[in-house]
Amino acid sequence: MVLKVVFSVFFAFLSFFVLSPLDVVSSGGQNLEKIPDSIVSISSGYVIAVDKKNQKLYVFKKTGGFSNVFEANCATGKNQGGKQVSGDAKTPHGIFFATRILQNPGPPETYGTLAFPLDYPTITDKKAGRNGTNIWIHGTVKPLVPFQSNGCVVLSDKDIHALAKFIHINKTPIIISEAIQWIPQNQIIPVSRELEKILASWTKGYIEGNIKAIDALYLEGNQIRGKKRETLLGRLSTIRNANQHFALEPRDISILQHNSNAIIMFDQITDINKDNSFEGSFNRLSLENINNKWFIIDDVESPATTRKSDRQIVSAQDTGSASKGALSNLITQWAKSWKSGNMAVYRTFYASGFRSQGMNLNKWINHKIEVGKRSKNIDIRIDNLQISGDNNQSTATFTQYYSSNLLKSQGNKKLELRKINGEWKIYREMMK
């Protein structure tokens, strides 16, 4: 009897080891990581997945196949289930996006030194009557205790800073599930064909300039209205005339699905200029499955970017996801070095040919050193970061909040950056 129990325990342990969530053996004998079933398809970049049941956060990257590039323990809401109303101490379920970066958002024992507010409640949440505010992913300097937040996703302060390099504002999807359902990454998800068909129909209507075909894809009452509709109609006229000369299909397509909701993200050409340059945007469609049929219920578009083309046939490409992520992280670290007064590190973010306010790089750094000597408790916070450009030159614009014992100010800043010897450097800096 004892021997039987020993063998039962052994085989139970062996089964767990072989069938752990991130490991599956393909029919060809190749080891493949499992992925959350919410990841339908990803062209590039990262996906963050939070498993509330196991209090774990994972980051997946698409490079050929999927790979798990980061994971950490986390703490979610004190109460089980998805968030319904403000104050219920529950963490919401769904697909979300970080809307900004907060440096030193509050008492470090509660919020750590870095936070990413999420876009909860989404339009889907609002339609369902769910409410509440200030759902963040943030750090803490205290020991992490499972199921102890008021609704946020909490990581150790070390882990939130490690996670920051994987987050691109308004671009990196963050899937929060009660319990992740793991599937082999080469498994075809049935819903993928339905959602790909929606995008194909949207693209066809867009390229043909058929606003009625686009309207038909939206839930009744959720069609594009007002100024957004006027802008779209103007674009459709331009795009329809250019269709024979340019490749206008969307690129960098990613599709995610969580229960009855889905997100489709893609880059799209929005305008063709007389000099054969073109403008593009990053689009995000939110969908809901109602009575076994998918409908678009909302759409979000990032600011347009302009690119030059020396050919008649071009495709939509702006600063790639990886470059945008690198730039976002660079700007975060740039502000951090400025705040800490580490001028040696601060200088490394600038190009040797940098100029601002009539100063070259040496004069600029000396100016900052003198300001730092006179000032105490310098704090810099960046909000509404927007990045545009291509893989060699980019522009970052944001709202900058600066405070010290001598000065408090708020203004819009613009950084112009160039890639020099494979590294991004700031070569112009100005207040707008």
Domains of the chain: residue spans and CATH: 31-184 (2.40.440.10), 190-307 (3.10.450.50), 321-431 (3.10.450.50)
Secondary structure tally for the chain: helices H, strands E: 10, 25
Angle at 390 between CA 385 and CA 394, to 5 degrees: 45
pTM for this model (two decimals): 0.66
- Cis before 107? omega within 30: no
Q: What order do you get walking across the sheet with 359-360 strand by strand?
A: 359-360, 350-356, 423-431, 408-420, 393-403, 379-389
How far does Cα 328 stand from its chain's mean position? 11
Helix axis angle, 190-207 relative to 226-242, nearest 10°?
80
Q: Confirm if 182 and 37 have CB atoms less than 8 A apart.
A: yes
Categorise residue 335: left if φ over 0, alpha if ψ from -120 to 50, beta otherwise.
alpha
Residue 56, both tokens = 């774990």
Tokens representing 44?
Answer: 């590039």
For the segment 139-172, what is each residue's pLDDT rounded down to a tens digit? 999 999 999 999 999 999 999 999 998 998 888 9
pLDDT tens digits along 92-109: 999 999 999 998 998 999
List of the chain residues with pLDDT < 50: 1-20, 23-31, 304-319, 321-322
Separation CA 414–CA 207 (nearest Å): 34
Contact 198, 287 (CB under 8 A): yes
- Residue 424 · residue 387 · CB < 8 Å: no
Q: What is the rounded CA–CA span in Å between residue 74 and residue 57?
A: 6
DSSP 162-226: HHHTT--TTTSEEEEESS--EEETTPPPHHHHHHHHHHHHHHHHHHTT-HHHHHTTBPTT-S--H
Max Cα-Cα span within the chain: 86
pLDDT at position 316 = 29
